[in-house]
Amino acid sequence: MTWVSWRLHRTQLLIIGTLAVLAAVAMAMTGVRSTSTSSLAVHDAQALVWGLLFALPVASGVVVGVTVTARERERFTNRLAWTQGISRTRWLLATLVPVAVAGSVAMALISSVASWWVAAIGQAPRIYPNLFDVSGVVPVGYFLGSMALGVLAGAVFRSESFAGWVAGIGAVAARIVVRTVVRPHLAPMVHLAPVLNGPGSTWSTVPGGGEPALGWLLNQGWVPVGRTTPLPGHPWFSSLSAFNGYRCPVVTGSGFRNSVYSDCADPARLHFVVNYQPPSHYWLLQAGEAGIFVAAAAAAIGLAVFLLRRSSE
């Protein structure tokens, strides 16, 4: 079955390998160049590399996944395998595991190069969302999750193209939701309470950390004293001038007004708070997010097995 799996998916695997090699070459060129020049062309090339790295795990995972189930069901070649004394569960796993391992190894290798590239370009800390998405172990999780979603879509829909579109949209949506809603809470946030008394502002931390510029900034603004977030149902009161320490927003009987810090923050019992994830939480967030996608992949494969076993084909 391993040889059969390779024969069925060799085109997709070769394309994935080619794209990975091209991405590695592009990273090597733009990573080295970024140490000596900051030209617009280099930055544009880096943006293209990031786009390729962002899309590669999802695109390759979906393509591999739908060919395991949807292509076989669309061409009715699965019926031949199911009449050869092999169970549907064994058929699916024997076909899927070799390409899953090969794809995971490819994603792990390319993300290793991407981790070097992220450090080489030095545009932001690696915990910053755009760089976080293409480095570490999360690309492997993205690949496995997308592949499993493709397998599940193929178990539901016989059409390979339709299953591919459904799985692709679902995989992208899952990444967006996890990135914006789930990831910020996978590790405890650090809350900074900067002392803003003028241009020479100083930073004090609660309970510890560094300036938010060194990490992933989540929220910032004026909140009631004693809190690190706004009251339920209330927004963050923030502005650029407030962040620089000159003014702060305050609630009066007629609404909002701006005044000097010493005239409004103390009477209104407001203080400026910054919530962020420090660089030291990088691997904790990586492990948590990769674990989510691997667990989701296992659940999707289990559901696909259940559906195939109950299929009347």
CA 46 to chain centre: 18
106 and 210 share one domain: no
71 and 215 share one domain: no
Q: How far apart are CA 306 and CA 308, in angstroms?
A: 6
178 and 198 share one domain: no
173 and 196 share one domain: no
Tally of domains in the chain: 2
Q: Please check whether residue 147 is in contact with residue 249, taking contact to mean a CB–CB distance below 8 angstroms.
A: no
The pLDDT value recorded for residue 34 is 53
Q: Please check whether residue 251 is in contact with residue 152, taking contact to mean a CB–CB distance below 8 angstroms.
A: no
79 and 208 share one domain: no
> Which residue from 213, 211, 217 is spatially nearest to 277, judged by alpha carbons?
217
104 and 218 share one domain: no
262 and 115 share one domain: no
The pLDDT value recorded for residue 48 is 79
The pLDDT value recorded for residue 85 is 60
pTM: 0.79
List the chain pLDDT tens, one digit each, 313 residues. 555 555 566 666 676 777 777 777 766 666 655 554 556 666 677 777 788 888 889 998 998 888 888 777 666 665 555 556 667 777 788 788 888 888 898 889 888 888 888 777 766 778 988 889 988 999 999 999 999 999 999 888 888 889 889 999 999 999 999 999 999 999 998 887 765 544 444 455 544 445 556 688 888 777 777 787 777 777 676 543 443 444 555 544 444 444 445 555 555 566 778 888 988 899 999 999 999 999 999 999 999 888 888 766 6
Contacts of 29 (CB under 8 A, 6+ apart): 45
The pLDDT value recorded for residue 176 is 94
Domain with 60, as residue range(s), is 2-187+280-310
55 and 200 share one domain: no
175 and 81 share one domain: yes
271 and 169 share one domain: no
Q: How many CA atoms lie within 13 A of 9 on its CB side?
A: 32
8 and 112 share one domain: yes
305 and 162 share one domain: yes
